[in-house]
């Protein structure tokens, strides 16, 4: 079968193997959501489904008014978006970006800056700890934390300043914090590892991470790009153990499956370590642009109004009941 027949382009770069379906052509968003959540758990990145009518309407209306504007100007939509995130998640501030990987990079920069300014880590010695099996995107800083040879091979030299620990092992984390805690700025982790195969940590792990990060004055950075916004049956996967990370990264569902929108949430004592002009300025593609902000608000509205968080629990319960009956 040619690449075109497989739904790929012979001009576009090579992609990993995918199911030979042309989803956009024939699956309604409802069917896709149900099918995908059962069959392709790790790949569902748009809980609102494909082309949700409310999100598409907002996208079209906003596209006819104003799409992207320079960060040098205020736009009416970003404050609404930021306020919506603040009211849902309770963090003081929002730093908007585009892709999930950009969101994670931003969180890493924020942690390093906080480490030097607030924790007084000696210049250029800050360490970020991440988990074995993690997936945080494809940029260079992010793949530098990867254990996946395919993600790393041929891309070196990797970025220094990273250490790894086994996912779900609070004792190993504490040992590392004991040994090097004075130079560790942040622990970046997925509360549920997605690409690794939907790995749920042992009970009590999220609480233990919270306690250890507080004890050793290390930022707890939850990458909720995949696990957040209702996908685990809670708004954040960290809500399962009622823990509040210092920094949360959101993405994927925030763009409603329509455009890339990500955001980093933190309180002022952390977020204000980055000052105007130090990060995030790209006039045309700046996160929080009018189009992205409007789409993100609509995407959050759909998650809440359509009760997607509650429905995901309901669906999962039905699914497991069905599976158990099958056995």
Ligand X SMILES: Cc1ncc(COP(=O)(O)O)c(C=O)c1O
The interface with ligand X within residues 97-116 (CB under 6 A) comprises 99-101, 104
Please state, as a whole number, how many other Cβ atoms lie within 10 Å of the Cβ of residue 114.
24
Written as six digits, the tokens of 155 are 């891309």
Among 133, 251, 280, 287, binds ligand X (CB under 6 A): 251
Interface size with ligand X, residues (CB under 6 A): 15
- Residue from 52, 112, 136, 234 that binds ligand X (CB under 6 A)? 136
Residue 72: CB minimum distance to ligand X, A: 26
Query: Sheet holding 262-266: strands in order across?
Result: 93-97, 262-266, 247-250, 219-223, 184-189, 127-131, 162-165
Residue 190 contacts ligand X per CB under 6 A: yes
Task: Indicate the residue among 46 and 119 with the shorter CB distance to ligand X.
Answer: 46
- Give the per-residue SS3 of 210-272: HHHHHHCCCEEEEECCCCCCCCCCCCCHHHHHCCCCCEEEECHHHHCCCCCCEEEEECHHHHC
Least gap, CB of 195 to ligand X (angstroms): 5
Q: Clarify whether 223 is annotated catalytic.
A: yes
Instruction: To the nearest 10°, report the CA torsion of 55, 59, 62, 63.
Output: -170
Give residue number: closest CB to ligand X: 100
If the CB atoms of residues 52 and 252 are measured against ligand X, the closer one turns out to be 252
Alpha helices (runs of H) in the chain, residue ranges in sequence order: 23-26, 29-39, 53-65, 77-89, 100-117, 140-143, 149-152, 170-180, 205-215, 268-271, 290-305, 308-326
The partner residues of 131 in beta bridges, in order of sequence, read 165
Site string for ligand X, 57-96 (x = CB under 6 A): ----------------------------------------
Question: Which residue, 152 or 272, is less far from ligand X as judged by CB?
Answer: 152
CB of 52 to ligand X, least distance (A): 18
The single residue of 78, 135, 167, 189 carrying the catalytic annotation is 135
Judged by CB under 6 A, does residue 255 bind ligand X? Answer: no
Complex with ligand X: residue 195 or 239, whichever CB lies closer: 195
Q: For ligand X, which stretch binds (CB under 6 A), given 31-39, 111-119, 221-229, 312-320? A: 221-229
First to last CA, the chain: 38
Q: Which residues does the annotation mark as catalytic?
A: 135, 223, 252
């Amino acid at each position: 079968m040619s690449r075109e027949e497989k739904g790929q382009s012979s001009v576009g770069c090579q992609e990993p193997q995918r199911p030979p379906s042309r989803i956009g052509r024939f699956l309604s968003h409802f069917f896709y959501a149900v099918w995908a959540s059962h069959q392709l758990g790790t790949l569902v990145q748009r809980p609102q489904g494909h082309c949700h009518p409310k999100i598409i309407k907002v996208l079209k209306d906003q596209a006819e008014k104003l799409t992207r504007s320079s960060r040098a100007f205020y736009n009416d939509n970003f404050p609404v978006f930021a306020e919506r995130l603040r009211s849902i998640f309770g963090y003081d501030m929002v730093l908007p970006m585009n892709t999930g990987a950009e969101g994670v990079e931003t969180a890493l920069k924020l942690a390093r800056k906080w480490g030097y300014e607030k924790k007084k880590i000696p210049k250029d010695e800050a360490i970020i700890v991440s988990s074995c099996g993690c997936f945080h995107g494809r940029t260079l800083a992010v793949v530098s934390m990867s254990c996946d040879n395919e993600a790393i091979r041929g891309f070196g030299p990797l970025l220094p300043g990273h250490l790894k620990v086994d996912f779900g092992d609070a004792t190993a984390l504490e040992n590392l914090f004991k040994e090097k805690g004075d130079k560790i700025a942040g622990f970046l982790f997925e509360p549920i590892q997605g690409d690794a195969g939907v790995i749920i940590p042992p009970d009590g792990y999220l609480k233990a991470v919270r306690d250890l990060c507080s004890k050793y004055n290390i930022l707890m950075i939850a990458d909720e790009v995949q696990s957040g916004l209702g996908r685990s049956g809670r708004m954040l996967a960290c809500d399962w153990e009622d823990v509040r990370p210092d920094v949360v990264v959101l993405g994927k569902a925030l763009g409603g499956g329509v455009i890339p929108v990500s955001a980093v949430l933190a309180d002022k004592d952390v977020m204000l370590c980055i000052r105007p002009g130090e990060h995030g300025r790209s006039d045309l593609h700046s996160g929080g642009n009018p189009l992205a902000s409007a789409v993100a608000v609509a995407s959050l509205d759909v998650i809440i109004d359509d009760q997607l968080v509650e429905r995901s629990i309901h669906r999962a319960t039905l699914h497991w009941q069905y599976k158990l009956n099958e056995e």
